[in-house]
Structure 1
Amino acid sequence: MTGTEVEILRTVLDQWKSGVDAHDPKRVASNFTDDAIFQGLRPYSVGPEGVAAYYDAQQVGLTAEYDILETRRLADDLVLGYLSVDFSFTDRPTLTVNLSVIVRRIGDAWLISHYQVSRLG
């Protein structure tokens, strides 16, 4: 993993995490492109509105802790990240998932254009 790709991912994912931890669905969604494919643990959606609806339905108190496991520079303006994420709840055990993201540079900003969660076995 190169420092540049990790730094890019951390910048975007720290903002995503901040919105998740604050239960601020609109802030979470602001980290996604207008055409982002989003696959949480329910049916997929496209665009920030679906992301906001997904996180709005999550319980207050949900938090996320992530660890970047792998990165790949797919193009000058695309970075892939493969992560392990622990979602913690106030009333049930922590859920650990795998998360793949592709972040895309649009102007000076990096935004999530693809987000796919898979549950661990």
Structure 2
Amino acid sequence: MHDVLDRWKTAFDSHRPDTMAEVFTPDALFLGCGPEVVAGRDAVRTYYEAVAEDRRADVTVLHTYTIGEQVARRLRGRHLQRVVGMGGEGPHVAGRAA
């Protein structure tokens, strides 16, 4: 987790949207500061391209824990719709980092 956040912060502080997007999975769901959830690396990249170049990130890891491979599969499968509230208009939650 620390490595992923360090890579993301370095890319954010250097305004490198391509590198920031690479931290996310190809099918990531992402909620930035706006009201809309976007899907996929291209959408994440587009979001970060619009962030002002003078912005800097302050990242602190408070706690990490492993939830296990089976939990991730279950959330990604049939339970995802209930958990994240997908409907006719698409997903309604933030995504996950790789």
Runs (5+) with no aligned partner, structure 1: 1-8, 79-99, 104-110, 112-121
Q: Which has the higher strand share?
A: 1
Structure 2 counterpart of 1:58, which letter? V
Task: Say which structure, 1 or 2, has more relative contact order (CA 8 Å, 6+ apart).
Answer: 2
SS in 2 for 1:38: strand
Q: Which amino acid counterpart does residue 11 of structure 1 have in structure 2? A: D
Q: Which residue of 2 aligns with 1:37?
A: 29
Query: For residues 25 and 60 of structure 1, what CA distance do their matches in structure 2 show?
Result: 10
Could you tell me which runs of 5 or more consecutive residues in structure 2 were left unpaired when the two chains were aligned.
73-93
Cα RMSD, aligned residues only: 2.0
Question: Does the CA-based 8 Å contact 2:30-2:95 persist in structure 1?
Answer: no
Q: Deviations over 1:55-114 (max 9, x none)?
A: 100101111121111222111596xxxxxxxxxxxxxxxxxxxxx8744xxxxxxx1xxx
Find the counterpart in structure 1 of residue 42 from structure 2: 49
The equivalences for 1:1-121 within 5 A come to 9-42=1-34, 43-76=36-69, 102-103=96-97, 111=98
In the alignment, the residues of structure 2 paired with residue 74 and residue 11 of structure 1 have an alpha-carbon distance, to the nearest angstrom, of 18
- The number of residue pairs the alignment matches comes to 75
Q: Counterpart of 1:27 in structure 2: which amino acid?
A: T
List structure 1 runs of 4+ shifted beyond 6 angstroms. Answer: none
The SS at the match of 1:71 is: coil
